[in-house]
Chains A and B, each alone.
Chain A
Amino acid sequence: MIKLTVNGKEHEVDAAPDTPLLWVLRDLIGLTGTKYGCGQALCGACTVHLDGQPIRTCVTPLSSVGTRKVLTIEGLSPDRSHPVQLAWMELDVPQCGYCQSGQIMSAAALLARNPAPSDNDIDQAMAGNICRCGTYPRVRSAIHQAAKLLSTTDEKGG
C-alpha cells in the first residue's frame, strides 16, 4: 500500500509503484475529472498540481509522489468559485470539455505564480495543453479575466 494526499485527503492505494498517477487518481481513487489523452505528456489533459506545480500525471509514477500534495480539478474549489473557474463560466470556454480540467489546472498554476500574465506568458504556460475543439481564443480571454478577478479579490483583501 502506498500513501498519498489528494485534495487534502489521505489515501492508501494498492498499486504497483510505477503506475502512473493518472490511473491511480481515476481508477483507484475515483477522481475522473483528470483525463487521459496521450499517455506521453504531449496533450496536458491529465494536468494536476503537485505542491502547486502543474504536472502531467500520465507520466508521473505513483512512487515519485511521496508526501507532496496532489491537487486535482475536483479539489480546486468546493463550489466552482476559483477565479479560473468563474472566468471559464463567464466566457463559456468549454466546447466538448474533455481537455478543460487540464487547461484549468494549467491556468490556475500560471496565475498562482504570475497574477497578471501577458499573452506571451499565457502562450508559454498553456502550450502543453491541446484542445481539439479550438477553445484557445476563449482560454486566453478567460485567463486575463481570471487575473482581473484575482486582482479585485486581492484589493478586497480576500
Chain B
Amino acid sequence: MTQVFTHDASRRSFLKGTAAFAGGLTIAVYLPGCSKPEEAAAPTSSGPVKANAWLHIGTDSKITFLCDRAEMGQGVYTALPTLVAEELGVEPKHIHVEFAPPGAEFVNGLLGAQVTGGSTSVRDAWGKLRAAGAEARERLLIAGGKALKGQPNLCRIIVNADGAGAVAMGNKSVPFGEVAAAAAALPKPQNVKLKAARDYKFIGKSLARLDTPSKVDGSAQFGIDVRLPGMLYAALAQSPTLGGTAKSFNADKAKSMPGVKHVLQTASGIVVVADSWWQAKQARDALQIEWDAGPNAKLNNAAIYAGLKAAAADTGQSVRKDGDADAALTASSRRMDAVYESAMLAHATLEPQNCTVEFRDGECHVHVPTQVQQFAQASAAKASGLPAEKIFVHTTFLGGGYGRRLETDFIPPAVEAAKAAGKPVKLLWTREDDMTHDLYRPPARDPVAGAFGADGRVSAFKLQIVGPSVTARWAPSVVANGALDPFAVEAAHNFPYAVPNVRIDYIRHEIGVDVGYWRSVSHALNCFAVESFIDELASQTEDDPYEFRRGLLWNHKDARWLGVLDVAARHAGWGNAPKGRFQGIALMSGYDSYLAQVVEISVEGSKLKIHRIVCVADCGQIVNRSIVEAQVEGSIIFGLSAALFGDINIEAGKVSQRNFDTYRTLRINEIPKIEVHMINSDDKPGGMGEPAVALVAPALCNAIFTATGKRIRSLPIAKQGFTI
C-alpha cells in the first residue's frame, strides 16, 4: 500500500510539535538543509515534507541520527542509519542513534503522519535518508575543503575508533565539530549524486543490529523500565465490559493498604497510585467498583458474526470490477460458493501497555513505547490541558508493537495520575488488562464465489469483504466522503489471476467494539479468503494448486508474481514431498513486496505436524539481509500462532481470554523448520515487517486440505478439530 493520505484534521494542529534535542551537550547543527525542526515546513495534503533533520554533528565531532521511527523489533534502529551511513561515507556503527521527538519533519511520507506502521519505514526512508546522507557528505567536504585550503574532491571523510568524524586531505584533517556549522550554512549543494547499487558497502549486507548489545545485557530501555526521581507507580482498573464505565467505587480498603498514595477516577477507569507497582496493583484489586456495563452488556461473538452475515446482503463499496462477475456466475453450470471467517485477535505484545509521565516546569514529559509520537503528544495534551508544545514525548524501545502501539489509550490515565500525584507516575497494565482491553484485529466473514466457463477456464471470481473498519476510527479523514478504506482491501484489490470477470466489494460493518490494526492488517484476512478459494477452484478441476496458479499468472504483466511462485515451488520441492507429507501453497503481494509460501505437513488423526515452511520474498533492494530474514521467520511464527490458536471470544461484552494460558502462542518446541529465500533485486525496497504473516493460514489450510480433504474456512484451525 503506497497510498498517501493526510492525517486527521483534529491532529493537524499538533504536527508542528516540538523537537528539542535530548542531551544538549552538543551544538545542534542540522544537516542537510540547515533547517531546524521548528522551521520545517508543515506537511501538506499533497505529500511529504521536504525538510531533513535526522543528522546532528556534535562539537565532539560525533554523529547522531535521530531515528524517527519506533524500534519494535523490525530493525529500523539499524536499517535507517545504514541508509545515512552508506551515503555519508561512515560505518553505521559509528552513528549514535536516538529516538526522534514528534515533529513535522519526521512525518512518514507514505502515511501522512509520524507513524511507524504499514511496513513503510524503509520504503519511506529509502530516498530521503540516502539523500540526507549524501548532502551532508557534500556539505562537509566543501566546508572541510575550505578549512583545509583544498578542493572538496580531494577531501575524504574519516572516522576514528570513538566515532568522531573528520574531513581529511592528504595527511591533514579537520574535525567535523569545527566545520559542521559552516557546512550547515552553505547553500544547498546541487546535483548531489547517490551511489550506484554496485557501490554499496553496507546496503544489502547482513550488518549487525545496532541495538543487539543493549538487548543481551538488560540495558535496553523499554517503556516499562523508565525510572524517574521520586517516581510513583500506578495500576488501572478498567471496566471488565468493553466500553463500560465506573458508576461508583469504594476505595476505603485500597487506601488503607501499604504504600497507597492516591486513588482517582479517570475517563479510563480507577487509578491507584502507590510507592511500588505491586502495592498499586494489590490495592487496585481491593477496590470495590460498581460498573455500568454500557452498550456492550449483551455483546457476544455469535451476535458479531451474525451481524457480519447479515451485512453481506448490502452492496458496499466496489473495490474491483472487471467484466461482469454476477452474469458469469449466473451463466455458469459450475459455480462454487464458500464463506471464509477469521477470528478477532489480540496483539499480545510481551511488554504490556504502559506510560510514564512527569510534570515539571510547566512541561509534561511523556515516556512511552509508541508507534505514533504525534498522536501520543496530542493525547497527552488533551488529558493534561496543556498545549502541544508543552508536551515532550520520549520514545523508548517497544517490547513488541504489531500495531497495538498505534493506539494511545494507555496515555491519558498516566497523565491524569501524574497530574493528581504531583510526582512522576509510571502506569502499567497487567497482562490481563492488556489481553482484555486490546483493540482487536477485526473479525471477517467473507462470502466468495467462483465459476468456470464452458471452456473449462475460471470465468468469474467474486469476493465480499465484510468487517469493521479500523481506519474509520483511527484516521477518519482517509475514508471521508465515501473513500474506500485502503487498509481493509489489501491483498484483494490486486487480485493477480487472469479471470475475465472479477468483482470485489467491501462492506463495512461495525461490531460494537473498536478494532485495531494488527500486523499485516487486512492482508491476513483477505489472503486467507483469496488463496484458499483459489485452491478450492483448483481442486474442482483436479488441477495441481501450483500449476493452476501458474496457468492464471503466466501472462501477468508484472513478472514478480510468477517469479516468487516458481522459486518457492522449486525450493520447497513442490510435488516431491516425502511420503506421508503434504504441501500447501499461497501467494501474495503487499507493502511493495511479493511473497510465496509453501507449508509441508503430515497429519495423524486430528494431530498436525508442521514440518517445514518455505518462504520466498521479492522485496526489491534489501537494506539488511539478516533483518529481513529474521522478519520473515518471526512473521511466520506470528502468523502460525494466529492461524492455529488465535481467538478472542467476547461473552456478555467481556473478553474471555486473559493470559497466555488461554491465548496460546507458539513456543520453541512447536515451531517448524523455516527456510527463507530472498530474490536479489534492485527494484525499490518493499516492506518486510508484516507480509509473511498473511500467507501462513492459507498455505497451511491448503496443505491440510491436500492431506485430509477437509477444507478449513474458519480460523483458528484449533477450533476445526485439529491440534499440534
| Chain A residues with a Cβ under 8 A of chain B | 15-16, 19-20, 23, 26-28, 30-40, 42-43, 45, 72-74, 76-77, 80, 85, 88-89, 92-101, 104, 122-124, 126-140
| Chain A residues, Cβ within 8 Å of B350 | 35, 37, 43, 45, 96, 98-99, 130-132
Residues of A within 8 A of B634 (CB): 95, 133-135
Residue pair B225, A32 in contact (C-beta under 8 Å): yes
Tell whether A35 pairs with B224 under 8 Å between CB atoms, given A42-B659, A134-B633, A139-B668.
Answer: yes
A92 touches B276 (CB 8 A): no
Inter-chain contact B276/A97, CB cutoff 8 Å:
no
Is A36 touching B352 in the complex (CB atoms < 8 A)?
yes
Given known pairs A97-B211, A132-B349, A139-B668, the reply for A23 and B218 (CB within 8 Å) is no
Our pick among B212, B221, B276 for the contact of A15 (Cβ within 8 Å) is: B276
B661 — which chain A residues lie within 8 A by C-beta?
A: 40, 42
Interface of B is mostly: loop
Interface residues of B in 55-75 (CB under 8 A from A): 71-75
Q: Is the CB of A31 within 8 A of B630?
A: no
Decide if B671 touches A137 in the complex (CB within 8 Å): yes
Cα distance A11–B186 when bound, in Å? 57
Q: Which one of B399-407, B678-686, B709-717 is at the interface?
A: B399-407
Given contacts A23-B277, A38-B431, A38-B659, A97 and B669 within 8 Å (CB-CB): no
* Chain B residues whose C-beta falls within 8 Å of the C-beta of A139 in the assembled complex: 668
User: Which of B72, B278, B626, B627 has most A Cβ within 10 Å?
Assistant: B278
Chain B residue, CB-CB nearest to A136: B668
B: interface residue count bin = 35 or more
16 A-B pairs whose Cβ atoms sit less than 8 Å apart in the complex: A23-B276, A36-B352, A73-B217, A93-B216, A94-B209, A94-B215, A96-B350, A98-B400, A123-B668, A124-B669, A129-B668, A133-B73, A133-B400, A134-B633, A134-B636, A138-B630
Contact B630 A135 (CB under 8 A): yes
Closest Cβ–Cβ distance, residue A98 to chain B (whole Å) = 3
Q: Smallest Cβ distance from A124 to chain B, in angstroms? A: 8
Provide the residues of chain B in CB contact with A34, threshold 8 Å.
218
B660 near A98: Cβ-Cβ < 8 Å: no
State which of B218, B233, B397 has its C-beta within 8 Å of the C-beta of A72.
Answer: B218
CB pair A76–B222 under 8 Å, yes or no, is no
A128 to B660: give the CA distance in the assembly, Å: 11
Quick check: A95 and B73 within 8 Å, CB to CB? yes
Are A33 and B669 closer than 8 Å at their CB atoms? no
Q: Are A96 and B212 in contact, CB atoms less than 8 angstroms apart?
A: no
CB <8 Å contact, A127 and B73 = no
Asked if B348 contacts A122 (CB within 8 A), the reply is no
Q: Is the CB of B211 within 8 A of A32?
A: no
Is B440 in contact with chain A by the CB < 8 A criterion?
no
Contacts of B294 in A (CB 8 A): none
Q: Contact between A74 and B217 (Cβ–Cβ < 8 Å)? A: yes
Q: State in angstroms the CA–CA spacing of A134 and B217 once bound together.
A: 20
- Check A27 against B637 for contact (C-beta < 8 Å): no
Asked if residues B351 and A98 are in contact (CB atoms below 8 Å), the reply is yes
The distance in angstroms between the C-alpha atoms of A124 and B212, with both chains bound, is 26
Q: Which of A27, A92, A96 contacts B398 (CB 8 A)?
A: A96
Residues of B344-401 at the interface with A, using a CB-CB cut-off of 8 Å, are: 348-352, 397-401
Given contacts A27-B278, A140-B668, 6 further A-B contacts (CB under 8 A): A19-B278, A89-B212, A96-B71, A96-B72, A96-B398, A134-B638
As a 0/1 sequence over residues 634 to 649 of chain B, the CB contacts with chain A under 8 angstroms (1 = contact) are: 1111100000000000
**Among B216, B277, B352, B635, which residue has its beta carbon within 8 angstroms of that of A80?**
B216
Closest to B206 in A: A92
| Residue contact A132 to B348, C-beta cutoff 8 Å | yes
Task: Please report which residues of chain B, range 142-163, place their CB below 8 angstroms from some CB of chain A when the two chains form the complex.
Answer: none
